[in-house]
Amino acid sequence: MYFDVTNPQHVALLPAEVREWSEVKDLAAAVEFDVIEKYTERERDTSYTASGTAWNVPDPLVIGYRERVEVADGVHVYLRGYKVDASLASADFALAMRRAIADVLAWRVRRSRTTLAVSSESGQ
């Protein structure tokens, strides 16, 4: 878990006005999943990715190569520095993830409190 709502340092990354809102605790895990999902692809959906071993060249030299971490069978996260266990990620990467999660979380919490209203007018 990159963003822990029980860790004051993580919560401090949120804007002051949303830190205490109950929605933060409810949405934090879903937002973290969504941020990671943005960089996740399934092998069956990535026909342009090739393995360097097929061409006898190192992986970084293969066209279309991107650093990836397999998180499940055939499911990869293409995010340089990502580790499934957040405690194994570099401090800089973990902080960058927390900041991204905090930004999305703040946006989503504010949206959850927005009342959407639709009005219509008749042409008569």
**Amino acid at the residue 91:** A
Q: Check residue 46 and give its pLDDT.
A: 54
Q: Check residue 57 and give its pLDDT.
A: 46
Q: In angstroms, rounded to a whole number, what is the distance separating the alpha carbons of residues 41 and 63?
A: 17
Highest mean pLDDT among 68-77, 102-111, 115-124: 102-111
CA distances from residue 64 to 1, 6, 19, 60, 80 in whole angstroms, order as listed: 29, 39, 41, 9, 15
Domain ranges of the chain: 1-39+82-112, 40-78
Q: Check residue 124 and give its pLDDT.
A: 66
Q: Which pTM was predicted?
A: 0.74
Of residues 122, 106, 120, 114, the one with CA closest to residue 17: 106
pLDDT in tens, 53-100: 454 444 444 444 467 788 888 888 888 889 999 999 999 999 999 999
State phi, psi for 33 to the nearest 5 degrees.
-60, -45
Mean pLDDT over 18-24 rounds to 91
